[in-house]
Structure 1
C-alpha cells in the first residue's frame, strides 16, 4: 500500500468514485464518508456513497445522506456502480470483511482501492494507496488531514464541517477519550471558523431519539446489567425478545456499553446483543486493559485498545458464560 499522499496530485482529475464504510455505519463512518463525498464533488468527480447496510435514523440529518445507497436493499444497482468505479475509498474499517455481504464484491472489483482508517491491523495488501493511523481520534480527523495536507483547506465549508465534527465528537466520547489530542482541538477550532454550529450537531446526535429508547435503557440498566466488583468488570446482555418488545431499531443501542464505565472502579465493560444471525459484542475499557486483544482472542473481533467489538455464533446464554470465563482468565489484568 502506497502512502495516501500519492493521490494528492490526482484529486483534480475527475473520476468515477465510490466511498464505502463498515456495516451499520456510526457517526464517524457516515460523517467521514459524506465529508469526503462533498469534498470530491468540488473537483467534478462522479461520487456515490454506498453503505453495506442500513444506518441509524439519527444520522439522517447529515447533508447528502439521502443520496447514500444501501447495498443490501439495492444490490444489483450497487454492483453495477462498483463495476464501473475507478477509485474505491474504504473508510473506518481495516478489512473488507467488515463490509458484511458487500465484502466479496469489494475484493473482486478491478479499480484503485484507497484505505483511510484508524483501527489496528489493517489489510494493507488489499489496497493500492492509503493511511492507517491508530493514533488518530477518528476517521473524520483523517479526512480533515487529507483535505488540509493536500492543499485544499479552502474547500472546507459548513456542510463538510458538520460531517467531520459529528465523527470526531462521537469517536472521542465528546472529547473525553485519550485519543483527543491537541490536534483534535485545533481541528474543531478551524471547523468553527468555517461555520460549524456545534450545538446543532450535538443535538442531532444525542437529543434525537424516541421515548421507547429511554425506557429500554432504563430496563436494561435495571434488569440486564451485572457488576463483578472483584474483577472491576460490568456486563450487559440483551435478548432478541427485548429488542422486539421495545421496538429497538438500528442505532438505538449506540453508546449503551459506555454507561457502566461511570461506576467507580469499573475497568472493563462487555455488552452483548442477540441478533438474528449472531451475538454482537461491544467492549470498552479504562487504562491499561487491551480491549482489542481481548476481542480478538475470545470473540472474533478487534478494534482499538480501549474500544472494540466482536461476535459469537453461540447462544446468548453460552456467549455470556464465555465472557464470564474470559474475565476470570484475565483477572490479573483487571485488578
Structure 2
C-alpha cells in the first residue's frame, strides 16, 4: 500500500469513483463518505457513494445523503457503479468483511482501492494507496487532513464542514474521549471559520429521534441493565422482543452502550442486542482496559482501545454467559 500522499498528483485527472464504508454506517462513516463525495465532485470526478446497507434516518440531513445507494436494496445500481469505477475509496473500515454482501465484489474488482481508516489491523495488501492511523479520532478527521494536506483547504464548503464535524463530534463522544487531541480542536476552529454551523449539527444528531426511542431507553436502563460492581462492569442485554415492542429502527440504539459509563466506578460497559442473524456486541471502557483485545479474544470483533464491537452466533443467553465468563477471566484488569 503506497502512502496516501502519493495519490495527490492524480487528483486532477477526472475518474469514475465509488466511495464506500462499513455496513450500518454511523455518523463518522456517512460524514466522511459524503465529505469526500463533495470534495471529489468539486474536482471534476464522477462520484457515487454506495453503502453496504441502510443507515439511521437521523443521518438523512447530511448534504448528499439522498444520492447514496443502499447496496442491499439497490444491488443492481451498486454493482453498476462498481463495474464502472476506476477508484474505490474505502472509508472507516479496513477489512472487507465489514461491507457484508459487498465484500466479494470489492475484493474481485480491478479498480484501485484507497484506504482511509483509523481502526487496527488493516488488510494492507488490498489497497493501492492508503493511510491507517489508530491515533486519529475519526475517519472524518483523516478526510479533513487529506483535503488540507493536498492543498485543497479552500475547497471545504459549509456542506463538507457539517459532514466532517458530525463524524469527529460523535466519534470523540462530543470531544470527551482522549482522541480529541489539540489537532481535533484546531480542525473544528478551521471548520467554524469556513462556515460550520455546529449547533445545527448537534441538533440533527442528538435531537432528531421519535418518542418511542426515549421510552425504549428508559425500559432498557430499568429492566435490561445489570451491574457487577466487583468487576466494575455494566452489561445491557436486549432481547429481540424489546426491539419489536418499541419499533426500534437502525440507529435507535446508537450511543446506548455509553450510558453505564456515567455510573461511578464503572470501567467496562457492554451492550448485546439480539438480531435476527446474530448477536451484536458493543464495548466501551475507561482508562487502561483494552476492549479491542477483549472483543477480538472473545467475540470475533475489534476496534479501538476504548471502543470496540463484536458478534456471536450463539443464543442471547449463551453469549451473555460467555461474556460473564470473560469478565471474570479479566477481573484483575478491571480492578
Match of 2:323 in 1: 323
1:282 Cα deviation from its structure 2 partner: 0.1
1:323 Cα deviation from its structure 2 partner: 0.3
Match of 2:265 in 1: 265
1:77 Cα deviation from its structure 2 partner: 1.8
1:84 Cα deviation from its structure 2 partner: 1.2
* 1:75-119 superposed Cα distances (whole Å, 9 cap, x missing partner): 122112101100000000010100011111110111111000000
SS in structure 1 at match of 2:43: coil
The two structures, once aligned, show a CA RMSD in angstroms of 0.4
Match of 1:6 in 2: 6
SS in structure 1 at match of 2:13: coil
In structure 2, C-alpha distance between the alignment counterparts of 1:146 and 1:81, rounded to whole Å: 24
Match of 1:148 in 2: 148
In structure 2, C-alpha distance between the alignment counterparts of 1:180 and 1:119, rounded to whole Å: 16
Residue 109 in structure 1 maps to residue 87 in structure 2: no
Unpaired stretches in structure 2, ≥5 consecutive residues: none
1:211 Cα deviation from its structure 2 partner: 0.2
Match of 2:128 in 1: 128
1:319 Cα deviation from its structure 2 partner: 0.3
Match of 1:139 in 2: 139
Match of 2:86 in 1: 86
1:217-228 matches, cutoff 5 A: 217-228=217-228
Match of 1:68 in 2: 68
1:141-180 matches, cutoff 5 A: 141-180=141-180
Unpaired stretches in structure 1, ≥5 consecutive residues: none
In structure 2, C-alpha distance between the alignment counterparts of 1:78 and 1:227, rounded to whole Å: 44
* 1:21-52 superposed Cα distances (whole Å, 9 cap, x missing partner): 00000000000000000000011100000000
Residue 306 in structure 1 maps to residue 303 in structure 2: no
Equivalent pairs, count: 335
In structure 1, C-alpha distance between the alignment counterparts of 2:314 and 2:84, rounded to whole Å: 40
1:239 Cα deviation from its structure 2 partner: 0.7
Match of 2:205 in 1: 205
The runs of at least 4 aligned residues of structure 1 exceeding 4 Å deviation read none
In structure 1, C-alpha distance between the alignment counterparts of 2:11 and 2:64, rounded to whole Å: 20
1:60 Cα deviation from its structure 2 partner: 0.2
1:12 Cα deviation from its structure 2 partner: 1.1
* 1:128-158 superposed Cα distances (whole Å, 9 cap, x missing partner): 1100000000000000000000011110010
Match of 1:51 in 2: 51
* 1:207-242 superposed Cα distances (whole Å, 9 cap, x missing partner): 000000000000000000000000000000001111
TM-score computed with the length of structure 2 as normaliser: 1.00
Match of 1:247 in 2: 247
SS in structure 2 at match of 1:288: coil
In structure 2, C-alpha distance between the alignment counterparts of 1:251 and 1:293, rounded to whole Å: 25
In structure 1, C-alpha distance between the alignment counterparts of 2:101 and 2:316, rounded to whole Å: 23
